[in-house]
Amino acid sequence: IISLWLTIPLGCAPTHKISDPGLDKKAGTITQKIRQTNQDINTSKGVGWIKTLNGRHTQKYKIAWAAAFPHKIRITFLVSGHPFETIAADGKKVTFVSHTGNHKLHTTHTRDPDMEEFINIPVKLSELISLLLGRLPVKKYDTAVFSPDDPALKTIVLTKLWSNTRQTLFLDDNNSPVGLKKT
């Protein structure tokens, strides 16, 4: 006779330190409000500035864009008023054009590539478009809690259960977003 014992732990372990349910609800409410901001804006065009930091090297570009949510954009990066790079996405593919001869015309046949590979900015194309539409690209999450390391309650940690997705949302004194970090 063979006997087999299988022990299966039942229940769930918390994914964060025990916290105040009232504060957790407040963190979730603030995050949902931020996620809903500008959701009715589907297109935009404009000019602005973008600064990239790669190690210790900082580069500032003027940009001009026209974008449509979620995967269409034409954005040109300018240096000293001259076109440096243009990215054009039609919802099916993305084309990269160097105006300085840094690379040949390149097309990727994916509609949402990781832009770090191409322009050293660690965002997906859809996240860049969201930012240009005035939306903060907060990913779906299961828990939103104030960071125990921030007694001012201006840092919210967002986690997705059963995945490595984790974001940290930084707030100003009015609970408006001032930063979003993937961790």
Tokens of 134: 């005035």
Whole-number pLDDT of residue 177: 94
CA distances from 158 to 7, 31, 34 (A): 32, 9, 13
Instruction: Give residue-wise pLDDT tens across range 63-114.
Output: 999 999 999 999 999 999 999 999 999 999 999 999 999 889 999 999 999 9
Q: pTM of the predicted model, to two decimals?
A: 0.79
Whole-number pLDDT of residue 165: 79
Instruction: Give residue-wise pLDDT tens across range 130-147.
Output: 999 999 999 999 999 999
Q: 């859809």: which residue's tokens?
A: 126
